[in-house]
A = this chain, B = another copy of it.
Amino acid sequence: MKQVKISEAVVRRLPIYLHVLNELLRSEVQTVSSQDLGQKLDLNPAQIRKDLAYFGEFGRKGIGYDVSYLIEKIRHILKLDQPLNVGLIGAGNLGHALCNYNTYIKDNMKIVAVFDAHPSKIGTRINSMTVQPIENLKRTVDELQIRIGIITVPAAEAQNVADRLVQAGVEGILNFAPAILKVQGDVRIHHADFTTELLSLAYYLENGADRNEETVD
């Protein structure tokens, strides 16, 4: 199969497909049509078929997709069939909340270490992990082969933490701090900012249907 570069929009939908498929599996559903998936996800069935067709021919006309097989394929595409260790910096409320997601993420992707710069946090426990001083970052990243760093520190400290993560050798950063960060080299950074979601939701509330609308892109 020829490797293709998939658009970001499709990559973002794959975890959502996986989530619904896992729910179906738990309900012992064995096959699912693109119509059913579309109904569950408020997505156009044609869009779903197009998304999944990038990865090969999984569906069968009139029968639909084999749930287990599709889960296996998406897990493979998202590389969930191999271990991927994640480190988290910032043991505040958000850091705790994300560590609690570990049980949800299950699979092979796991937060395996938590760091903080503040003496009051260092040595405390989050689930089965002990919060480490930020000075341990590089050593622990090496030891545990951590490839992704999650930043949950205040905005003012976020760039410093990002620099440390890059120096420590991570390949990707997920930033929750409300700050625009710059990273050097090949490190990929994704921003997960609550306020972006909240503000864009508000935009739609106010844009009433009574407006004279014209779609632009």
Report which A residues bind B (CB closer than 8 A): 2-12, 14-16, 18-20, 23, 40-42, 54, 77-80, 84, 86, 92-94, 96-98, 100-101, 104-105, 109, 147-148, 150, 155, 171-172, 174, 178, 180, 182, 188, 190-207, 211-217
- Find chain B residues with CB under 8 A from A155 CB: 104
- Find chain B residues with CB under 8 A from A188 CB: 201, 204-205
A28→B77 CA distance, assembly (Å): 47
B4, B92, B217: the one within 8 Å of A216 (CB): B4
By the criterion CB–CB under 8 Å, are B40 and A206 in contact? no
By the criterion CB–CB under 8 Å, are B40 and A199 in contact? no
- Find chain B residues with CB under 8 A from A150 CB: 198
Task: Report copies per complex.
Answer: 2
By the criterion CB–CB under 8 Å, are B200 and A101 in contact? no
Question: Quick one: given A4-B213, A212-B3, A214-B2, are A178 and B104 in contact (CB under 8 Å)?
Answer: yes
Closest chain B CB from A132 CB (angstroms): 19
- Find chain B residues with CB under 8 A from A93 CB: 93-94, 96-97, 100
By the criterion CB–CB under 8 Å, are A198 and B216 in contact? no
What are the 7 A-B residue pairs with the smallest beta carbon separation, nearest first? A94-B97, A93-B97, A93-B96, A15-B199, A5-B213, A79-B206, A3-B211
B174, B194, B203: the one within 8 Å of A14 (CB): B203
